[in-house]
Amino acid sequence: MTRKTHPLHSNTGASTPDRIVVYGHDLINDLLGSTSLSQMAFLALTGRRPNADESAVFDAITLTLVEHGMTPMAIASRLTILGAPESLQGAVAAGLLGMGDRFGGGAEAAADLLRSTLAGVDGKDIDTLAAHVVTEHMMAKRPVPGLGHHIHKPIDPRTPKLFDIAKSHGLAGRHVALMQALGREAEARTGRSLPVNATGAIGALCCELGLPKEAPRGITIMARSIGLVGHLIEESRAPIAREIWERAETEVNDAWFAGEKP
Amino acid sequence: MTRKTHPLHSNTGASTPDRIVVYGHDLINDLLGSTSLSQMAFLALTGRRPNADESAVFDAITLTLVEHGMTPMAIASRLTILGAPESLQGAVAAGLLGMGDRFGGGAEAAADLLRSTLAGVDGKDIDTLAAHVVTEHMMAKRPVPGLGHHIHKPIDPRTPKLFDIAKSHGLAGRHVALMQALGREAEARTGRSLPVNATGAIGALCCELGLPKEAPRGITIMARSIGLVGHLIEESRAPIAREIWERAETEVNDAWFAGEKP
Amino acid sequence: MTRKTHPLHSNTGASTPDRIVVYGHDLINDLLGSTSLSQMAFLALTGRRPNADESAVFDAITLTLVEHGMTPMAIASRLTILGAPESLQGAVAAGLLGMGDRFGGGAEAAADLLRSTLAGVDGKDIDTLAAHVVTEHMMAKRPVPGLGHHIHKPIDPRTPKLFDIAKSHGLAGRHVALMQALGREAEARTGRSLPVNATGAIGALCCELGLPKEAPRGITIMARSIGLVGHLIEESRAPIAREIWERAETEVNDAWFAGEKP
Amino acid sequence: MTRKTHPLHSNTGASTPDRIVVYGHDLINDLLGSTSLSQMAFLALTGRRPNADESAVFDAITLTLVEHGMTPMAIASRLTILGAPESLQGAVAAGLLGMGDRFGGGAEAAADLLRSTLAGVDGKDIDTLAAHVVTEHMMAKRPVPGLGHHIHKPIDPRTPKLFDIAKSHGLAGRHVALMQALGREAEARTGRSLPVNATGAIGALCCELGLPKEAPRGITIMARSIGLVGHLIEESRAPIAREIWERAETEVNDAWFAGEKP
């Protein structure tokens, strides 16, 4: 079969024997020694280096996402290394695979909502916009993304801290204001505790930094891979996966023979 | 079945409604706003916060590992999102799965060698140790880990830069000296170009920082997950996976029908 | 924190020292020696053993899905074992991760369409239903799932064979008839070649067998894992992954330095 | 950079508009309707179709491996779909990633041992060979692969059944005899219950069938992917992942605040 060939391009990395270019920057002379890991992550996401203010806010966002305790992802990762101790990468991959729509989609949904709400309405009053969004979601019986938390109430302590950091670096603009207004409005209308949660705050800050739409999910994956490595090192020193497995297996087995079939 | 239950413990993360603790530190008051992402990664690996010197060297190590161009892992990641555009986490996971013994094991092997060679030989001359190690490897016909590069020769430009950064932060100790001596000795004995490569340099620096034995591989996974997200964002803007696929499929298909069965 | 505990149940498997129960059947006395692998897969999907007719059709469906040549999934799998030769499971997992919405979602979409179209319309004429569905899709400018193929035209040779097998086993009912009518109607209305493709045929047969809604995707994963193991064994004997990688890397690298940045 | 190009070949699959070839066989005319899924798997592993006896034994092997109850892999898979319900393939992949050296390596180790012990010793007495192997392992304080089970004792009920099936199909040759002799010898020498377990039996049968060395692991992955899909369908109907997660998270959290840091 003949087919037209299209050329392959990429700006991610290129090298000669004595030179390495990453995202268009000379790794040896421009990046190493003057760039932090999170600045490199920002560069990977956007193609440009962050200034000091952006860098501080980006550090705060990513830091928040590294470690959330004994999540389903962390448990899956630990159970995986129990069976495949030869493959640290496999155990991290197994953990990342649970970072999908349910746990990894919140910040993305919040960012999408903020961006679409503020697109082309530069002069409009934030509270009016928030009221409109909350009404729409209530009528459709859909929760407003980025609001509410099952543990952290009446406020999610990460949110005011993240917004303070953004403000002190001049990066708490209209997206942050709208996210806060959505929280106030939703609480007033429903009478329930609906604080802006960490994913809402992170979604707003991704917008303030002008990050691409994949960024909330991408940042979550980057940060969580760090946390998962931490879990796996702890698991090798103080294992708990076998105990979690054997408890579940024993209970299921006993229940089955007791005739309690589901 | 009755079984003895063992308690589940972890120091990774814990929380109350108004408090979040990560690696034993208060996230809101002790970490956010004063800690960089790479300091958090160091904390995840070791349980302690790095000082400024350690932090600079750790940034340099991780930075080096983020992006290596169109690697098999990057291509696998891009091919995966072509088939499963709904799952960014799946595409990153697929890419990480190739970070195994062949591409991810080098720094670990170098660090293991340096650590075991220097264990309990505090006063011994570095050059004598290096000569012994090189002799052993030559007799066993095994390459010394951390030496040689198929593209970056006669020197890997990352190595002197990484060692300079370590030296300027007071962290170029005996492990760095041994790694350098191994390179000199191996080149002298074989007459071939065997520079200390980036994985050798990173292995040595992991030892200087006192990181745990899983660190070289763990750091590689952390850093590469950042690079893979970068590849996937580029793939969504300037795709190449379909072209790589169709070229291979067409060639294999044509070859089969031309009777050139393998 | 106190929380109400819910019991853990499963009907998948349970065992005592001398007995093993799988899906409620005694593995030793009821399954081994009298059950084929695909009958076991049917049991895993539905909780019941297929009769001989169902079994024959199920074998045909799954067989069709095992191997599709040099797909993106197969290439990703081969690239992964190149980097992680220690982990066959990692390479298969990497390949499966590309079996998402784009390549794995077609049969599911076809089955969903057939089921929803036929729900509660027992007496209705199949051609009338097909005309309605095609009109709806044309107005919404959406393709009808299960129709058309970029290579196999004017007919996909798998489809008549699969439908023949179903017919000879008395399992070509209204879902098959509707799928065929959709193809006829879509071709008539658009004037284009839109044969029922293999995913459309498989979607229809999953409905005829009364499989659960996850079945099309689940069967694809089951079958493809067999095919991916086949690719990896071939890769170990007659490798091509390194060649695919190096061609792409060289081209991207050369293009970058030629100033052709994307 | 110029590089020599090597051609890409594969015998897995190839197609023209009206023809599909899989492993060198015409899918439509030679395979569909006359081949079972497990015969296709045998073909994928070996490049040849099994005869009826081989097919029966291969069905028994693969059947045994489909479902082992609430394993770490099954739990990891269920935890993954909890977080990423959009990706069935991701949840199966996460489960497969735990099928590594600890749980997936046993049959491979047994097969390797049997093959290497019997290589070039055609006339030698099986019991003498077994005594030698057991002595070697006892001196090296290594367990003989394929012997012993923590639940199934004094015998693993799968083993006699698998060997009976092999015998009735004329496929219980010297590898089976050696595996049985190893069990007898090890029990006699140690005084402990060391029955040939299912992985030992499967390892022996893989040798009898002349399967390639990757087969034990490859078959395990193929079969387990079927079982994992079964788990995920059950999880969608009768979920337990959230309960397993929340129990562990609550216990870890409570323990941390109770000051019981590990």
Helices (H) and strands (E) in chain D, counts: 12, 3
Tokens of residue B41, six digits: 């990664």
Which of C208, C89, B37 lies closest to D228, judged by CA?
Answer: C89
D10 inside 8 A of chain B by CB: yes
Q: What is the pLDDT of residue D182?
A: 97
- Give tens-digit pLDDT for C166-191: 999 999 999 999 999 999 999 999 99
Angle between helices A52-66 and B37-46 (to 10 degrees): 30
The residue-averaged pLDDT of A70-81 equals 98
DSSP class of B193: -
**Residue B262 — pLDDT band, cuts 50, 70, 90?**
very low
Of D11, D14, D251, the CB nearest to B8: D251
Of A69, A89, A152, the CB nearest to B17: A152
Contact check, Cβ <8 Å, A251/C7 = yes
Q: How many CB atoms lie within 10 A of CB A189?
A: 14
Contact check, Cβ <8 Å, D96/C96 = yes
End-to-end CA distance of chain D: 54
Q: Is the pLDDT of residue C114 over 90?
A: yes
Asked if A184 and A147 count as a contact pair (C-beta separation under 8 A), the reply is no
Residues in D closer than 8 angstroms to A76, CB to CB, are 75-76, 79-80, 94
DSSP class of D25: E
Residues in A closer than 8 angstroms to B41, CB to CB, are 37, 66, 226
B253 inside 8 A of chain A by CB: yes
Q: Could you give the dihedral angle defined by the CA atoms of residues B42, B44, B47 and B49, in that order, rounded to the nearest 10 degrees?
A: 40
Q: Is the pLDDT of residue C87 over 50?
A: yes
D34 inside 8 A of chain C by CB: no
Of D80, D244, D245, the CB nearest to A97: D80
Q: How many CB atoms lie within 10 A of CB B87?
A: 28
Asked if B253 and A1 count as a contact pair (C-beta separation under 8 A), the reply is yes
Q: What is the pLDDT of residue C150?
A: 85
Is residue B21 within a helix (H) or strand (E), and if so which, with residue range? strand B19-22
A78 inside 8 A of chain B by CB: no
Q: Is the pLDDT of residue C260 over 80?
A: no
Q: How many CB atoms lie within 10 A of CB B74?
A: 31
Partner chains of D (3+ C-beta pairs under 8 Å) = A, B, C
Of C6, C13, C90, the CB nearest to D68: C13
Residues in C closer than 8 angstroms to A261, CB to CB, are 9, 11, 24
- Cα B245 to its chain centre, rounded Å, is 28
Residues in A closer than 8 angstroms to B87, CB to CB, are 100
Q: What is the pLDDT of residue C123?
A: 79
Q: What is the pLDDT of residue D1?
A: 58
Asked if A240 and B9 count as a contact pair (C-beta separation under 8 A), the reply is yes
Q: How many CB atoms lie within 10 A of CB C242?
A: 14
Distance between CA atoms of residues C92 and C227, nearest Å? 9
Asked if B196 and B157 count as a contact pair (C-beta separation under 8 A), the reply is no
Tokens of residue C190, six digits: 């658009």
Q: What is the pLDDT of residue B1?
A: 59
Distance between CA atoms of residues A262 and C12, nearest Å? 10
Rounded to a whole number, what is the distance in Å from the CA of C47 to chain B's nearest CA? 26
- What's the pTM? 0.96
Contact check, Cβ <8 Å, D3/C62 = no
Distance between CA atoms of residues B64 and A165, nearest Å? 28
Longest C-alpha distance within chain D, in Å? 70
Q: Is the pLDDT of residue A109 over 60?
A: yes
Q: What is the pLDDT of residue D262?
A: 47
**Residue B26 — pLDDT band, cuts 50, 70, 90?**
very high
Contact check, Cβ <8 Å, B83/C94 = no
- Give tens-digit pLDDT for B136-162: 999 999 999 999 988 888 899 999 999
DSSP class of D218: H
In one-letter notation, the amino acid at residue C103 is F
Q: What radius of gyration, in Å, describes the C-alpha atoms of chain A?
A: 22
Contact check, Cβ <8 Å, A84/C87 = yes
Residues in A closer than 8 angstroms to D72, CB to CB, are 79-80, 82-83, 241, 245
CA distances from A242 to C87, C163, D57, D72 (A): 21, 48, 33, 8
Per mean pLDDT, which range of A81-90, A147-156, B36-45 is the poorest?
A147-156
CA distances from D109 to A84, C90, D104, D147, D218 (A): 15, 19, 10, 11, 13
Contact check, Cβ <8 Å, C90/D97 = yes
Contact check, Cβ <8 Å, A13/B221 = no
Contact check, Cβ <8 Å, A252/C21 = no
Residues in A closer than 8 angstroms to C90, CB to CB, are 87, 89-90, 93
Percent above pLDDT 90 for chain C: 90
Asked if C168 and C204 count as a contact pair (C-beta separation under 8 A), the reply is no
B38 inside 8 A of chain A by CB: yes
Give the DSSP letter string of A203-235.
HHHHHHTT--TTHHHHHHHHHHHHHHHHHHHHH
Q: What is the pLDDT of residue B105?
A: 85
Residues in C closer than 8 angstroms to D37, CB to CB, are 36-38, 41, 59, 62-63, 66, 223, 226
B128 inside 8 A of chain A by CB: no
For residue C195, cis peptide bond before it (omega within 30 degrees of 0): no
- Cα C250 to its chain centre, rounded Å, is 35
Residues in C closer than 8 angstroms to A86, CB to CB, are 86-87
**The tokens 């006896």 sit on which residue?**
D53
**Residue B123 — pLDDT band, cuts 50, 70, 90?**
confident
Residues in B closer than 8 angstroms to D8, CB to CB, are 248, 251-252, 255
Tokens of residue A158, six digits: 């990460």
Q: How many CB atoms lie within 10 A of CB A17?
A: 14
DSSP class of D222: H
- Give tens-digit pLDDT for D53-64: 999 999 999 999
Which of C49, C22, C220 lies closest to D64, judged by CA?
Answer: C22
Of B161, B165, B225, the CB nearest to A225: B225
Distance between CA atoms of residues D105 and D134, nearest Å? 19
**The tokens 């008051």 sit on which residue?**
B29
Residue B231: partners with Cβ closer than 8 Å, 6 or more residues away: A10, A12, B74, B77, B78, B95
Q: What is the pLDDT of residue B260?
A: 52
- C161: closest chain D residue by CA: D28
Of D70, D83, D104, the CB nearest to A248: D70
- Give tens-digit pLDDT for B219-235: 999 999 999 999 999 99
CA distances from A230 to B42, B218, D123 (A): 9, 9, 55
- A69: closest chain D residue by CA: D249
Contact check, Cβ <8 Å, D84/A69 = no
Which residues share a beta bridge with D19?
A: D16
D75 inside 8 A of chain C by CB: no
Asked if C235 and C241 count as a contact pair (C-beta separation under 8 A), the reply is yes
- B73: closest chain A residue by CA: A89
CA torsion sign for D175, D179, D182, D184 is negative
Is residue A20 within a helix (H) or strand (E), and if so which, with residue range? strand A19-22
Which residues share a beta bridge with B147?
A: B196
B85 inside 8 A of chain D by CB: no
Distance between CA atoms of residues D144 and D136, nearest Å? 9
- C36: closest chain D residue by CA: D59
Size of interface A-B (CB pairs under 8 A): 280
**Residue C1 — pLDDT band, cuts 50, 70, 90?**
low
Of D84, D101, D252, the CB nearest to A98: D84
Which of B141, B139, B222, B138 lies closest to B182, judged by CA?
Answer: B138
- Per DSSP, which regions of chain C are E strands? 13-16, 19-22, 25-26
Residues in C closer than 8 angstroms to B97, CB to CB, are 80, 84, 87, 90-91, 93-94
Distance between CA atoms of residues C135 and C127, nearest Å? 12
B232 inside 8 A of chain A by CB: yes
DSSP class of C194: -
Residues in C closer than 8 angstroms to B246, CB to CB, are none
Q: What is the mean pLDDT of each run of 10 residues along chain D (262 residues)?
A: 87 93 96 96 96 97 96 98 96 97 89 94 90 96 94 92 98 97 96 94 98 95 98 97 97 89 48
Residues in B closer than 8 angstroms to A69, CB to CB, are 10, 12-15
